[in-house]
């Protein structure tokens, strides 16, 4: 019983970080109907940005986070214009192959530029442990969780109350009707893609002090993000939050009970079970793809 508080705290901290990765992915799908298979590579680029800023300039990763926002916003707009705009109205197969190709290209560019060596970001507070009752956690985990929650809350507020967010929601519901009402859907898609990349790039910076940095580091996180998004319902941001906590709980408790080697097996079994029982996810609507909802 003494381990329960620690497991609960670890689940919440890990779930908050997973949520930031997942909401970027679900935002892009919810508005654009595109599954971004290169999502993990932008996590990897965020981790490398934090590493090189720390290694070359001795900048704290959480200061780099501020710089990363405009950097990844511009990178998102550039990658949309160069890669996604030509295929945005093509079939899903074309979009899938395009994002898979972007993923492979980014992985290999990182491999050529920075080799396959594992690199680590170890700021001064890396080994500082905070104890609260019977629980203990790292300062980096707390900061990463707090920033991830703030980002996620800000994205929810942006989508609900800002004019741009309302336009994005209108485009998600009915692209043709939005265009007839004078909305520039191409600009909306570019903004959506850029915001999704900002979320996942910021998540990469936050993860750098917690995980090793290498060219394929994003794969482990994007696989988790796919499970989270499908559990919650494709395109549903509230569902992504719930899915993040569920996957984090399965990973933390499974690692504690039967070992870390089985954690991926456990949440993929959960993933399969949910697809069998409720294919649309917890919050998804059947037929949403056809309805454009």
Please name which of 249, 238, 251 lies closest in space to residue 281, comparing C-alpha atoms: 238
Tokens read off for 236: 């549903």
Measured torsion, CA atoms of residues 11, 15, 16, 17, in degrees rounded to the nearest 10: 120
Tokens read off for 107: 């992985």
Tokens read off for 49: 């940005």
pTM: predicted TM-score of the whole model, two decimal places: 0.88
Q: How many CA atoms lie within 13 A of 206 on its CB side?
A: 28
Structure confidence at residue 283 (pLDDT): 65
**CA-CA distances (angstroms) from residue 199 to 18, 25, 154, 180, 206?**
11, 9, 11, 30, 11
Task: Judge whether 233 and 284 are in contact, CB under 8 Å.
Answer: yes
Please name which of 172, 173, 290, 276 lies closest in space to residue 231, comparing C-alpha atoms: 276
Tokens read off for 9: 């705290």
Kindly list the structural domains of the chain, giving each domain's residue range(s) and its CATH number in brackets, ordered by start: 4-291 (1.10.3470)
| HEC-encoded secondary structure of the chain | CCCHHHHHHHHHHHHHHHHHHHHHHHHHHHHHCCCCCCHHHHHHHHHHHHHHHHHHHCCCHHHHHHHHHHHHHHHHHHHHHHHHHHHCCCCHHHHHHHHHHHHHHHHHHHHHHHCCCCECCCCCCCCCEEEECCEEEEHHHHHHHHHHHHHHHHHHHHHHHCHHHHHHHHHHHCHHHHHHCCCCHHHHHHHHHHHHHHHHHHHHHHHCCCCCECCCCHHHHHHHHHHHHHHHCCCCHHHHHHHHHHHHHHHHHHHHHHCHHHHHHHHHHHHHHHHHHCCCCCCCCCCHHHHCC
Q: pLDDT truncated to tens, each residue of the chain (293 aa)?
A: 467 777 888 888 888 888 888 888 888 888 888 888 999 999 999 999 999 999 999 888 888 999 999 999 999 999 999 999 999 888 888 998 999 999 999 999 999 999 889 999 888 777 777 777 777 777 777 888 888 888 888 888 998 899 988 999 888 888 888 888 888 889 999 999 999 999 999 999 988 888 899 999 988 888 888 888 888 776 677 778 888 888 888 888 887 788 777 777 887 788 788 778 877 666 664 444 443 43
Structure confidence at residue 1 (pLDDT): 47
Question: In angstroms, rounded to a whole number, what is the distance separating the alpha carbons of residues 22 and 7?
Answer: 22
Question: In angstroms, rounded to a whole number, what is the distance separating the alpha carbons of residues 27 and 193?
Answer: 8
Structure confidence at residue 188 (pLDDT): 92
- Beta bridge partners of residue 130, listed in sequence order: 137
């Amino acid at each position: 019983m003494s381990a329960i508080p620690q497991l609960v705290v670890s689940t919440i901290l890990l779930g908050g970080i997973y949520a930031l990765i997942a909401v970027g992915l679900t935002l892009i799908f919810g508005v654009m109907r595109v599954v971004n298979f290169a999502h993990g590579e932008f996590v990897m680029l965020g981790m490398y940005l934090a590493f090189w800023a720390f290694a070359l300039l001795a900048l704290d990763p959480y200061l780099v986070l501020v710089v990363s926002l405009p950097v990844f916003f511009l990178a998102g707009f550039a990658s949309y214009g160069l890669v996604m705009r030509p295929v945005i109205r093509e079939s899903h197969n074309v979009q899938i192959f395009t994002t898979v190709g972007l993923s492979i290209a980014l992985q290999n560019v990182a491999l050529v530029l920075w080799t396959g060596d594992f690199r680590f970001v170890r700021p001064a507070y890396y080994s500082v442990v905070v104890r609260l009752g019977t629980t203990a956690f790292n300062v980096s985990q707390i900061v990463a969780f707090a920033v991830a929650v703030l980002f996620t809350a800000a994205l929810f507020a942006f989508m609900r109350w800002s004019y741009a967010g309302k336009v994005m929601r209108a485009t998600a519901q009915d692209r043709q009707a939005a265009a007839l009402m004078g909305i520039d859907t191409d600009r909306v898609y570019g903004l959506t893609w850029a915001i999704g990349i900002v979320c996942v790039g910021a998540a990469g910076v936050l993860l750098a002090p917690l995980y090793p940095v290498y060219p394929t580091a994003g794969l482990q996180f994007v696989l988790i993000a796919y499970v989270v998004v499908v559990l919650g319902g494709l395109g549903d941001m509230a569902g992504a939050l719930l899915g993040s906590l569920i996957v984090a709980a399965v990973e933390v408790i499974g690692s504690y009970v039967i070992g870390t080697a089985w954690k991926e097996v456990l949440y993929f079994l959960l993933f399969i079970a949910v697809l069998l029982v409720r294919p649309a996810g917890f919050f998804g609507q059947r037929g949403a793809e056809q309805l454009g909802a």
